[in-house]
Structure formats: C-alpha cells, structure tokens
Amino acid sequence: MAALSVIVLSIRPGGLRRQLRLVARRLRLVLLLGGVYLIFSTAIRVLFPEGWVSDYVPPVVALVLAVAFLVLAQEPALPPETKQ
C-alpha cells in the first residue's frame, strides 16, 4: 500500500516532493481546524450546558469548519512553464 501511494504521488504534477508538501500543509490545516472545533465546542458546552444551543451549534460549527477546509486545502495553481 505504501509503495502504491508513492507511485501515485510521484505521477502527479510537481513530483513527490510537492505532493508531500501539500500533505503536510493539509495536516497542519486539519490540526488547526480541529483545535478551533475543540475550543468552540468546549465553550458552548460550558456556557450553554442545556438547550438548543448545546444541541445544534456544534454540528453547525463542524460544517462551517469542513467547508473552510475544503476551500483552504485546495492545491495552489502551478506556475506556468516558461519556454526557453
């Protein structure tokens, strides 16, 4: 499985090094957004232990953060190749 992953990542534009940089970028983004979710959900549970806020706001926060991930985790455009 690891060998197949390396082969697939090597075939993609930019090579293996660029793909691993993108994976590292996405991992940092997931860790950051996960921390934001933990802070928000903890604050909601502490400030509103009962009621509709504690029931419905954490899933809404999760959806907003998931959309943020989908927008921020896109691959940046490759620079145009210069002809020499």
- H/E run at residue 52: helix 52-72
pTM value is: 0.76
pLDDT band at 22 (very low <50, low <70, confident <90, very high): confident
38-63 pLDDT, tens digit each:
999 999 999 998 999 988 999 999 99
What is the reported pLDDT for 84? 65
Task: Calculate mean pLDDT across residues 10-30.
Answer: 85
Query: Distance between CA atoms of 57 and 67, rounded to whole angstroms?
Result: 15
What percentage of the chain carries pLDDT values higher than 70?
96
